[in-house]
């Protein structure tokens, strides 16, 4: 397993995690949306990552199928659930070819994944295929806003573009809209609700580390050599612009859940 992949998995775990009370409220919203009665609910998460959505649901007793194509992410997740593996099955697989039979799960969870897949309709079709009648597709995403983080990301983009490389932003939002339209064309009725808002303290150093470890999807298409070349310039600029990099700022965050029930 490449060391860079392992490092990125641990960085993701540290910098993109939810506070425990927020994770609990997200789990409650998902459980309420499932509405399973009289049988043990089985959940499948596509792109489980290091388990920030999964862990509180597993703690509540759900049977959990955790799918990810990145072995480094799955390894971090596996370490966390070592004591409850009887309730968990790890699937190292691609979301566009889910290794499960038709109509086998009560809920499919998809958080920050569609925009990473150029042929996302295949993954959507697979997600709907494995859902039981009356099952629920549960799509979630974060909203984050802080002026300091925006300025750092804009500076990163300007440095990348000065190297002759374009940066595409906004694909995540566009893809969510495309998926919603696809669901409606199938006669389904997606319902969207923000389930929790919170404020979080973050440091300038952490904002820079998130970019350096390429935790945001808009960084993925930038060639590695370009990214490595501009990062020292970005760190130096941030020190000149902001001063002490361990100075905290407030990040406004929210989590939105879109639920679509099968007929």
- pLDDT of the residue at 8: 66
Q: Name the residue among 73, 93, 77 with its Cα closest to residue 85.
A: 77
Rounded to whole angstroms, the Cα distance separating 103 from 146 reads: 42
Q: Which pLDDT tens digit goes with each residue over 217-253?
A: 889 889 999 999 999 999 999 999 998 999 999 999 9
- Supply the DSSP string of 198-243, one letter for each residue: EEEEEEHHHHHHHHHTT-SGGGTTS-HHHHHHHHHHHHHHHHHHHS
- pLDDT of the residue at 10: 61
Token pair recorded at residue 238: 């941030």
Q: What is the pTM of this model?
A: 0.91
- pLDDT of the residue at 3: 47
Q: Which pLDDT tens digit goes with each residue over 118-136?
A: 899 999 999 999 999 999 9
Q: Name the residue among 203, 205, 197, 204 with its Cα closest to residue 253.
A: 197
Q: Which pLDDT tens digit goes with each residue over 173-221?
A: 999 999 999 999 999 999 999 999 999 999 999 999 999 999 888 898 8
């Amino acid at each position: 397993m490449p060391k860079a992949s392992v490092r990125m998995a641990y960085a993701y775990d540290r910098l993109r995690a939810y506070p425990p009370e927020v994770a609990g409220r997200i789990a409650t919203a998902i459980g309420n949306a499932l509405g399973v009665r009289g049988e043990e609910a089985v959940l499948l998460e596509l792109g489980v990552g290091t388990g920030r959505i999964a862990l509180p649901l597993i703690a509540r007793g759900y049977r959990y199928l955790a799918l990810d194509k990145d072995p480094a992410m799955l390894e971090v997740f596996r370490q966390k659930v070592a004591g409850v593996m009887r309730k968990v099955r790890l699937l190292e697989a691609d979301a566009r070819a889910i290794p499960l039979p038709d109509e086998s799960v009560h809920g499919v969870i998809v958080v920050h994944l569609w925009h990473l897949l150029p042929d996302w309709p295949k993954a959507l079709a697979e997600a709907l295929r494995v859902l039981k009648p009356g099952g629920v597709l549960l799509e979630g995403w974060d909203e984050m806003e802080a002026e300091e983080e925006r300025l750092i990301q804009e500076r990163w983009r300007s440095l990348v573009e000065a190297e002759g490389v374009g940066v595409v932003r906004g694909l995540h939002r566009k893809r969510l809209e495309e998926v919603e339209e696809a669901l409606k064309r199938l006669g389904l009725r997606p319902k969207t609700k923000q389930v929790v808002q919170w404020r979080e303290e973050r440091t300038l150093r952490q904002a820079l580390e998130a970019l350096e470890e390429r935790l945001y999807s808009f960084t993925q298409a930038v060639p590695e050599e370009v990214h490595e070349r501009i990062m020292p310039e970005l760190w130096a600029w941030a020190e000149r612009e902001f001063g002490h990099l361990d100075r905290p700022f407030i990040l406004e965050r929210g989590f939105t859940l879109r639920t679509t029930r099968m007929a």
